[in-house]
A and B are shown apart, each in its own frame.
Chain A
């Protein structure tokens, strides 16, 4: 078909020109983003390199002067063997995993009720839960400690060690972490759950599903990204917690890594090689968790923003 109008060539140089223009236009943005990323990573890299250096090297020169052949694993060996970091790593895991699981399980049940089960006073109750978000954790420490002191069961918990409940017990600190994490967890999940299409819930009910079946077979499988994100958040908070462990776990045998490192700072304040190694050990598991689930993590931050 001849239109008498020259048709512009569509392939070759125009496309390339466009690519250049687009790249140039975005160059400042990319430069800024890369710049920030580098700036943000410098302290961590410094920490990592320092943790492999001899104490004398740390004292005499900066971390950027280090070469590969001067690095050593001795610091890690010392920290893990002699300073009880191995035991406290296990303690951290024993505290964090159950506390995280407890939050995800209980909060998802509560969030389902808030999102999909109408009951009298639901709005008010949810408001109270959200209101708890603004209560500073520190304010509650003394009352909780007194309560725990009164409720302590002074018998050894089988397998895990520590008391059965109360001060110096794993069960006590699980409960404390779970309770402190609950308001945000319920808030996040309730908002995600209520963004699920109403039709799906109603279709399941007409298919004969009870509330429990709707929750278990429809809502939970569709909320995996939000549950994973919440799990990661809660894991990181609990893993990095110092305050609650400091208050509720006095027994050094039960201390998590955060507590152990703090004690290291106290007794070996100038032994940077040990502190850096210990810090890196405590970062290892969160890093693994983060990289393994980062896909969910990014999705979860956007939870509820758009309908999946």
Chain B
């Protein structure tokens, strides 16, 4: 077990900067998820940690050891690949035990630890088989087995669930979380899927275009995204953005857009005061737009009328695709909501859950701490 530290790490491929001055500490025993769209540098970050790609600038520490020039085989890491990368010519047992054998463990030791790992993952009866005789889910487990059997300092997982079908993915997700809790080892997990990130991570690091955008626990990223990118990336379906203009009216501030005027809650006033007369980016999550007929408690309502574009009935909820004077947005409302496409409907924005961003820097405009607000615990799926 060990902490991992990225200290001003930069990776360039020719002219392209894949990772730009990354500073990130993964504490011992943590489950850190690196998430971002494709090409954001998350896989490169993992590969640099693994020793598969060289670092252009900066250093990486595992524990107290600086590993910049340590070859992959001496870093004491285990990695689960997206393709599983099982050795096709070896049986499952040999696949799992390969690393132990190379490190000079005795035959009986290898057998014992392979069996223990297989038992942990429920693949005891597969040990004699060749990888090609296994299903995708079974291969996935073998790949995990190959990683855990070595009891490495850090586990690296590179999109390990992408090749599984949806049902198996959910199941394996919880299993990996359980595995992490049981082993207590540091996990670094790469994915492009923010749902995986939200459900598994103790902390998430969001990357975009090689730059670290924000690091924090899932709930913090959801509630206080540092910038427009994180706000749009974390949460599913993603956040709606509007571009209202701030206008002061006596002691209060109002946000004007599309012939609407919304009063800014008091705790946002100090932050938004400097923007008086200027536009800002207003973010509202679909789950914070409600049908007035089924309003939950604790909502600070601001009513808005819009044309219904499409309704998507999911059973447990309904998605309303709305259009207000060319601005499209999505509301995630109570399934009992009655709405007909092409007709006007009234929805209610919960202003207490709004997010504000500077339109130029795209950085978050902070509100004061909410005194009485029940901290949100919405399930994100």
Chain A residues within CB distance 8 Å of chain B: 197, 199-200, 202-210, 213, 217-218, 221-222, 308
Residues of chain B from 103 to 154 with CB closer than 8 A to chain A in the complex: 103, 146, 150
Q: Is the pair A205, B73 in contact by a Cβ cutoff of 8 Å?
A: yes
B374 interface contact, C-beta 8 A: no
16 new A-B contacts, CB < 8 A, other than A199-B85, A206-B78, A308-B88, are A197-B83, A197-B85, A199-B82, A202-B50, A202-B79, A203-B146, A204-B87, A205-B73, A206-B75, A206-B79, A207-B98, A207-B102, A207-B150, A208-B102, A209-B73, A221-B89
**Do the beta carbons of B85 and A203 come within 8 Å of each other?**
yes
- Please give, as numbers and ranges, the residues of chain B lying within 8 Å of A213 by CB-CB distance: 102
Determine how close the nearest CB of chain B comes to the CB of A225; give it in whole angstroms: 12
Residue ranges of B at the interface with A (Cβ–Cβ < 8 Å): 50-52, 71-75, 77-79, 81-83, 85, 87-89, 98-99, 102-103, 146, 150
Q: Closest B-chain residue to A210, C-beta based?
A: B73
A206:B87 contact, CB within 8 angstroms: no
A244 to B83 CA separation, bound complex (whole angstroms)? 48
Is B89 in contact with A207, judged by CB distance below 8 angstroms? no
Q: List 20 A-B contacts (CB under 8 A).
A: A202-B85, A203-B79, A203-B81, A203-B85, A205-B72, A206-B50, A206-B52, A206-B75, A206-B77, A206-B78, A206-B99, A207-B73, A207-B99, A207-B102, A207-B150, A208-B99, A208-B102, A208-B103, A213-B102, A217-B98
**Contacts of B50 on A, CB cut-off 8 Å?**
202, 206
Contacts of A204 in B (CB 8 A): 87, 98
A222 and B90 CA atoms in complex are apart in Å by 10
Contact A206 B88 (CB under 8 A): no
Interface pairs A-B: 7 shortest CB-CB: A207-B99, A199-B85, A203-B85, A208-B102, A205-B72, A221-B89, A199-B81
Q: Which residues of A contact B103 (CB under 8 A)?
A: 208
- Which residues of the partner chain B approach A221 to less than 8 Å between Cβ atoms? 89
- A200–B95 CA distance with the chains assembled, in angstroms: 11
Whether A207 touches B146, Cβ cut-off 8 Å, given contacts A197-B85, A199-B83, is yes
When A207-B146, A208-B102, A209-B102 are in contact, do A218 and B83 touch as well, CB less than 8 Å?
Answer: no
* A contact face: mostly helix, strand, loop, or mixed: helix
CA distance A204 to B77 in the complex (A): 12
Minimal beta-carbon separation of A300 from chain B (angstroms): 17
Smallest beta-carbon distance A222→chain B, Å: 6
- The winner among B82, B89, B150 for most chain A CB atoms within 10 A is B89
Contact between A205 and B102, CB atoms less than 8 A apart: no
- Flag if A206 contacts B72 (CB, 8 Å): yes
Asked if A208 and B87 make an inter-chain contact with CB atoms under 8 angstroms apart, the answer reads no
A202-B102 in contact (CB<8A): no
> Which residue of A has the minimal Cβ distance to B83?
A199
Residues in B with CB closer than 8 Å to A208 are 73-74, 99, 102-103
Task: Give the residues in chain B near A218, CB-CB below 8 Å.
Answer: 87
Neighbouring B residues of A197 by C-beta, 8 Å: 83, 85
CA distance A72 to B102 in the complex (A): 61
Smallest beta-carbon distance B81→chain A, Å = 5
CB distance from B111 to the nearest CB of A (A): 17
What distance in Å separates the Cβ of B150 from its nearest Cβ neighbour in chain A?
A: 8
Docked Cα-Cα span, A205 to B82, in Å, equals 16
Q: Which of A203, A205, A209, A222 contacts B89 (CB 8 A)?
A: A222
Docked pose: A213 CA to B87 CA in angstroms: 13
Chain B, residue nearest A213 (CB)? B102
Q: Which chain A residues lie closer than 8 Å to B88 at the CB level?
A: 222, 308
Which residues does chain B contribute within 8 Å of A217, judged by CB atoms? 98
Residue of chain A at shortest CB distance from B99: A207
For the complex, give the distance between the alpha carbons of A206 and B73 in Å: 5
A200 and B89 within 8 A (CB)? no
Residue of B at shortest CB range from A196?
Answer: B88
Chain B residues, CB < 8 A from A209: 73, 98, 102
Q: Which residue of A lies closest to B77 (CB)?
A: A206
Bound CA–CA A200/B87 (angstroms): 7
A197 to B98, CA, bound (A): 18
Task: Find out whether the CB atom of B52 lies under 8 angstroms from the CB atom of A205.
Answer: yes
Taking CB as reference atom, which chain A residue is nearest B103?
Answer: A208
Which residues of B sit under 8 angstroms from A207, Cβ to Cβ? 73, 78, 98-99, 102, 146, 150
Question: CB-CB < 8 A to A206: which residues of B?
Answer: 50-52, 72-73, 75, 77-79, 99
Closest to B94 in A: A217
Residue of A nearest to B81 (CB): A199
Nearest B residue to A221 via CB reads B89
Select from chain B the residue with minimum beta-carbon distance to A118: B54
In the bound complex, what is the Cα–Cα distance between A205 and B98 (angstroms)? 11
Q: Which residues of B contact A199 (CB under 8 A)?
A: 81-83, 85
A140 CB to nearest B CB, Å: 39
A11 to B299 Cα, complex, angstroms: 67
Complexed CA–CA distance, A218 and B73 (Å): 15
CA distance A222 to B89 in the complex (A): 7
Most buried by B among A197, A203, A209, A213: A203
Write the nearest CB–CB distance from A102 to chain B, whole angstroms: 25
B85: A residues at CB distance < 8 A: 197, 199-200, 202-203
Q: What separation, in Å, do the CA atoms of A174 and B98 have in the docked complex?
A: 37
Query: Bound complex: CA of A269 vs CA of B99, how far in Å?
Result: 65
Considering the complex, give the chain B residue whose CB is closest to the CB of A308: B88
